[in-house]
Amino acid sequence: MKDYKVRRLFSTPVFHFEIENYKKLNTELENYILTLKKKYEKGQKKSNYGGWHSPFFDLVNNSTVKKFVLIIQKFIQKVIIDEIGWKYNSDKVKIAPIWSIVNKKGSFNIQHNHPNAYLSAVYYVRFPENSGNIKFFDPKEQKNIRYPKIKNYTDMSAAITEITPKEGDLLIFPAYLYHAVGENLSEDDRIIISFNVDIENE
């Protein structure tokens, strides 16, 4: 085929960071989460099926949470300023709420997005093999509702993209982006931390 140009416009970004020296941090976070779990066994009911959804983290008094916030803040700032190009005013950027989900064997998360925030994120504290990947859904309804027969899925015809993360990975993406988590098929718990980022109007 003669040369031609393909411009890929208006894609939805998922920013993927690998946190350095995450092991010690993850042990500390896991202890905090398991303590919360003991205290609030019922948790909350959101997109979690079978899994435990924690109450929202204590952002004021807990030193482990505060340490975590200091780490993620840098990445959020980088995404907002360098990658997306939004104005960053530290007084207006709110990282809240922050919560955890523990998916034991057989648990999963149904498709959902995060209203009233601009960015959402997920951080992997424990991620056993086959414990459930995250799937993202194309936000363009007009493309998903009617399309020709698909022979090969390409980045332009796919309506779903699955990402396989590792422990210590942080994914940041637009809060409107629908996502779901596959069933945990391993024997071990999958533990993640999730949070929203909102920016107040100026």
Partner 1 sequence: MAKKKIYNLFPVPIFQYKIENYQEINQELLNYILELQKKNKIGNTHSNRGGWHSPNFDLVNEGPPINFINKFKDFLKHIISSDMGWEYIPNKQRIVAMWAIINKKNSFNVMHNHQNCYLSASYYVRKPEDSGDITFFDPKEAKTYRFPKIEKYTEYSTEIVTIEPEEGDLLIFPSYLYHAVGENLSDDNRVVVSFNIDIGY
Q: Which burial class, exposed, middle or buried, applies to 63 when counting CB atoms under 10 A from its CB (0-12, 13-18, 19+)?
A: exposed
Cα separation, 16 vs 107, whole angstroms: 24
Cα separation, 141 vs 199, whole angstroms: 26
Cα separation, 155 vs 95, whole angstroms: 31
Q: Is 46 helix (H, G, I), strand (E, B) or coil?
A: coil
Q: Which two tokens stand for residue 75?
A: 């990445």
Question: Is the CA virtual torsion 33, 34, 37, 39 positive or negative?
Answer: negative
How many Cβ atoms are within 10 Å of 134's Cβ, its own excluded?
Answer: 20
Question: CB 170 → partner 1: shortest distance, Å?
Answer: 8
Q: Which two tokens stand for residue 177?
A: 């982006």
Distance of CA 42 to the CA centre of its chain: 22
Question: CB 10 → partner 1: shortest distance, Å?
Answer: 4
β-pairing, 119-126 vs 169-174, is antiparallel
Question: Of 9 and 60, which has the nearer Cβ to partner 1?
Answer: 9
Question: Of 40 and 147, which has the nearer Cβ to partner 1?
Answer: 147
Q: What DSSP designation does 153 have?
A: -
Residues in touch with partner 1 (CB under 8 A) = 1-20, 75, 80-81, 83-88, 118, 136, 138-140, 142-143, 147-158, 161, 163, 170, 174, 176-177, 199, 202
Question: CB 23 → partner 1: shortest distance, Å?
Answer: 14
Question: Of 59 and 84, which has the nearer Cβ to partner 1?
Answer: 84
Question: Of 11 and 90, which has the nearer Cβ to partner 1?
Answer: 11
Question: CB 47 → partner 1: shortest distance, Å?
Answer: 18
Question: CB 63 → partner 1: shortest distance, Å?
Answer: 22
Question: CB 180 → partner 1: shortest distance, Å?
Answer: 14
Question: Of 169 and 189, which has the nearer Cβ to partner 1?
Answer: 169
Question: Of 35 and 133, which has the nearer Cβ to partner 1?
Answer: 133
